[in-house]
Structure 1
Amino acid sequence: MIKEFKEFIARGNVMDLAVGVIIGAAFTAIVKSLVDNLINPLIGIFLGQVDFSNLVFKVGNATFKYGSFINSIINFLIIAFVVFLLVKAINKIMPAKEESSEETPAPTKEEKYLSEIVDLLKQAKQK
């Protein structure tokens, strides 16, 4: 079982995923800081205070903080838009990968013979 675990961990996909998660967490912190420290204050200039966290309603002893939920939705939309703009900018900067224009190699003798055999088998099956 340990050998299988080592093989699983050593696979490229698992390592790529781990790197992606770590980079994603770091990137999330950067984008959150951008939203909290630059974009929200900018929006606050035009719309006033952008904080709905005080909006609540109570039913019996339960308190529903729907204002915090609205804040989370707004932050998500802002973060998604910023990420969209960053990805769009990176796609412009990074050169597009060129499609390989190499032609497929000509079939070998064996491939030709196998193709002929398959055709003969198909003809025999139809009869």
Structure 2
Amino acid sequence: MPTPETLERFIARVEENAHAEAVEEFYTENASLQENQEPPRHGRDTAVARERAMLPRAASISSTCVRPVFVNGDKVVIRWIFHFEWKDGTVTHMEELAYQRWEGERIAEETFFYDPAQRVPRKPQS
């Protein structure tokens, strides 16, 4: 179960848009990450590489935790809003719930729940 201080440090890292660094610092080596009902991806290094591959495509990113954060033992639910402005001029605005299982001070399993239609980049509204 994460301490409140650890959870706040994790949220702060994501809100700083230090996504790859947050994965390095707060996930177990064999962490499992899953998007909706897709097959899970395994391993912290895989997750870090995925974040680092995505970040250069973005001109800007905004990451916001919508409180409250729900904690029950080793289970945590965080509501996130992400806004990406891509270098090709499109935008992606996503709202998701992250359901996490922590082992001590690190995330061992995480499933993201969101409407997949949000992932499609769109032209910005005038």
TM-score range, shorter chain: under 0.3
TM-score by length of 2: 0.21
Ranked by relative contact order (alpha carbons within 8 Å, sequence separation 6 or more), the top structure is: 2
Q: TM-score, normalised by structure 1?
A: 0.21
The structure with more helix, counted as a fraction of residues? 1
* Structure with greater Cα Rg: 1
